[in-house]
Structure 1
Amino acid sequence: MIRTQPEKEVTKTTLPKISLGLESKLDQLPKNLLCFSHLRWDFVYQRPQHLLTRLSESATVYFFEEPIFEANEKPFMIFSQRQPNLWVCTPHLARGLSQDEINQQLRELTSFFFINKDTDDFIFWYYTPMALEFSSHITPGLTVFDCMDELSAFKFAPQQLKDLEQSLFERADIVFTGGHSLYESKKKNHDNIHAFPSSIDKKHFAKARDSRMEPEDQAWIQGPKIGFYGVIDERFDIGLIEAIATARPEWSLMLIGPVVKIDQATLPRNENIHYLGSKSYEELPLYLSGWDVALVPFLLNDSTKFISPTKTPEYLSGGKPVVSSAIRDVINPYGKNGLVSIASSPEEFIDAIEGYLDFADRKEWLKKVDKFLLTNSWDFTCSDMTELMSLAFTDRKVVTMPLNNVSAVGG
């Protein structure tokens, strides 16, 4: 028997309530949203959290995470409330199940979720095509594919992901991409696809410009501070970090974030490299405030070919100069507009960092940054997405309306 289990103690975010004025745009949309994600809500606060938190102001949002495996006999779901209208849904399954058994139990949990619910009053919002394996039997009022990354290029990507992605393109009413490069790669797959690159919460990261209160685990570190925050995985250029640290032992390299999918033993251990671990979204501006230069130190490979790093505009909002690898969606628009330095070798990174440490035109550069970021915000992104969703939903209703409900016009 499948059961749901509400969590007794819920964790709520402390982010301020954001008013977008989306009510009129959402009037004609389903009033519930079920998001299928390959990322956990509490992993890293990024695109899914920014968008769904804002959408939860006008709709009830359910965030369906990947399952947790433990020694339970029967599957169940825990619902954890994070905002008044936002719930994280975590399936709990038994250990040792085959993939087919996992999908079957997730399919049953999904069906159980919809008992006494009108599926037409739901938006399905997909971040992973893999979720089709247990959700394809349900037809919602609107299907959205927010294609945040080229998941098939990531380490340990399932072989069937590409086929499922094509199926999701066929089912989706509207598709968003996490950047312009990804849009160019995917645009032939759907006739209602739109690029929405990484955006920013400017007020949040602008705190780094005024704060003088570095956290204790960073405040004691001496020398110019060169920083990075984000996931440290197969995209991260370990060799670049080691080369910079070795060439400039007087600099301190601050690395913030979880280490995943790579062996921690392979990370460089120079005395001037400081691994500070994962930090909350609320803490990031405090750490950023103490840096002299921020880095986007990614390898150039299949897993980074289409990424649009959210941290780039966040660093800039915090008033920090940025040196980045030659990532296409960083080159254009940030490098092209003289906002970020692009480097292709340790020597070029070092030269660019040194230039920023003796930055004579900082005030003029900041004016240029602020002008460029003026219309860049998650608020605007969410509002524009909602408008496009409303149009897609209206078109969908017109297309699927039974012929006997259509009135003839004419004489």
Structure 2
Amino acid sequence: MEVIPINEDKYLEAIRLSEYAFQYKVPKEDIEEIMEMLKKQQVIGFLDEKQLVAKLHLLSLQVYLGDDLLKMGGIAGVATYPEYRRNGYVKEMLIHILEQLKKDEFRISMLFPFSVPFYRKFGWELFSNKQTVTMTKSDLMFQREATGTVKRSQEGQVADLAIVYTQYATKLFGMLHRDHDWWRKLVKDQQMAIYYDTMKVAKGYIIYTVQDKKMKVKEFVALGGDARRGLWNFICQHDSMINELEMVLHERDPLLFSLKEPRVKQELTPYFMARIVDVKPFLEEYPFHWKNATKETNILIKVTDEYAPWNNQVFEVKPNTINIIPYPNTEEKLISLSINTLTTLLLGYQKASELKELERISGDELALEQLDQLIPKKVPYFYDFF
């Protein structure tokens, strides 16, 4: 058997395979919508006697690296029936999709792992955490009144949310670029509240539900302290309706520190993984802090990548220039690392000093210091799921 494209006549089988593998049931009324959604994805897999037995979905997306947008291949729905597992089908699909991503000029790939060790074998690495905060009614203590106002929004009114989200996303690394369809699915069956400043400009929002005496805030985005207080006080206004509050927050959001009693339950979990697809064009598009470079800056990076062999090169990083050079006679001034380590380093999830301590990176101390100075001090984050 070999990897083949999965066409529309097999989409229902793809849904059934997902149901079996991920142990859920798609309501009949949702099947048509999912079938339409699959038309916007690339689905590949294996057939045995014309039956779909393994599959992988590729989503064509974009992510922010600061102000810049990069093409990102999202991998989802990887599934195999149990009797066909341990035959290398997922490995073959991942190799196939990496080659396809390179051909189509994607710079990076992301996924939510069922197993971190499994995807690490193929070059993906952790780049973002997810923090879930749980509070009780007694934690809902009002802060100083904000100068603006909070208004609840209807499901179809996402324009102001999108504006705020984009401003927030460009301050970070790895946030998803959301189009209108993505927003539509994101806020379906959700409540929304937007904070407007005194000039009636949107400066923050929350997306949430309130049900069975519990409030769940799936997104809390504030562009400043006033917006943060305003949104928090709006949440506190629900104190007569709820016994519990659950929030998903960026781990560096100062909201918790600002609380009168910050010692609330917090769970921080490694979340999404990423992988550079093609190192040279990625480095060429990466927003290095070239202002920190000098004329003498010349960093040599040796990358090892078992499953994308085109990345097994030595890359010369000079001000505004990326070159592939022959292997030098000596590795004395080389920075040597895997594609996993390069990904987590450039996305800001781990520092060079930390990775060296873990023996995930080796090289000349001066070169490591120079590289560290060129990497923007952005925090990686990923709010979405696929």
Tell me, yes or no, whether TM beats 0.5.
no
Give the TM-score normalised by structure 2: 0.30
Q: Higher strand fraction: Structure 1 or Structure 2?
A: 2
Higher relative contact order structure (alpha carbons within 8 Å, sequence separation ≥ 6): 2
TM-score (norm 1): 0.28
